[in-house]
């Protein structure tokens, strides 16, 4: 299993804690049932931490003018909204919720030039809260495709996810499906596409970063 670089420090610390607990159990008691009661939940938690930072290989859908999912998770919003930060007009918003069990690597939904990037400090409302897209800690990225269409997407922190990482900056030339960031511990990503675009997902659908086609631009 490939592990993401964002997890190296946390996994190292978790390993030290696990070793310390194992040593402590061995020193304090010879009762097997008591060792099991303590050890089993600790091992489960350790496995979940390691699994959270998994980084499986992904191969981007190459549909012409396609917009792929920037993250793993479940589609929770598909609606027409007023995008007030960059476009200042109506767009179709597709929101994907990531649970702590999902892969949390974020990927570029399209190829092109990063026209705009901004980090916003903010609140830590639960990720499904209607105002999380505009009030929570978040990043906003706009990529202009080769055909000249701007696609905006946001990494959004949640009540548990309080650490957003990004690896891109304005003027970067990026490739669809390549890594652009990481959100630690459950959150959400919003994608804003032009009105009239073909929508290829539905509410409740599970999607995978790079591999699931969200939309085809007209």
Catalytic residues: 187
SS3 89: strand
**Residues forming beta bridges with residue 150, ordered by sequence position:** 144
Q: Which residues pair with 94 in a beta bridge?
A: 78, 191
The torsion region of residue 28 among left (phi > 0), alpha (psi -120 to 50) and beta comes to alpha
Cα(126)–Cα(132) distance, rounded to whole angstroms?
Answer: 7
CA dist 120 to 6, 74, 80, 85, 198, Å? 21, 24, 23, 11, 30
């Amino acid at each position: 299993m490939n592990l993401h670089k964002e997890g190296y420090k946390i996994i190292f610390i978790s390993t030290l804690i696990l070793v310390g607990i194992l040593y402590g159990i061995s020193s304090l008691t010879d009762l097997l049932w008591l060792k099991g009661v303590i050890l089993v939940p600790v091992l489960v938690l350790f496995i979940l931490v390691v699994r959270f930072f998994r980084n499986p290989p992904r191969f981007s859908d190459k549909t012409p003018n396609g917009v792929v999912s920037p993250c793993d998770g479940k589609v929770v919003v598909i609606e027409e909204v007023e995008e007030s930060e960059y476009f200042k007009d109506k767009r179709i918003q597709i929101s994907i919720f990531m649970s702590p069990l999902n892969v949390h690597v974020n990927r570029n939904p399209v190829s092109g030039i990063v026209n705009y990037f901004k980090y916003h400090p903010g609140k830590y409302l639960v990720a499904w809260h209607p105002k999380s897209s505009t009030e929570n800690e978040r990043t906003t990225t706009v990529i202009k495709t080769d055909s000249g269409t701007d696609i905006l997407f946001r990494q959004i922190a949640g009540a548990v996810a309080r650490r957003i990482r990004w690896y891109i900056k304005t003027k970067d030339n990026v490739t669809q499906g390549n890594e652009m960031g990481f959100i630690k511990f459950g959150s959400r990503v919003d994608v804003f596409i032009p009105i009239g675009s073909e929508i290829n997902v539905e509410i409740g659908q599970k999607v995978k970063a790079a591999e699931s086609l969200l939309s085809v631009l007209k």
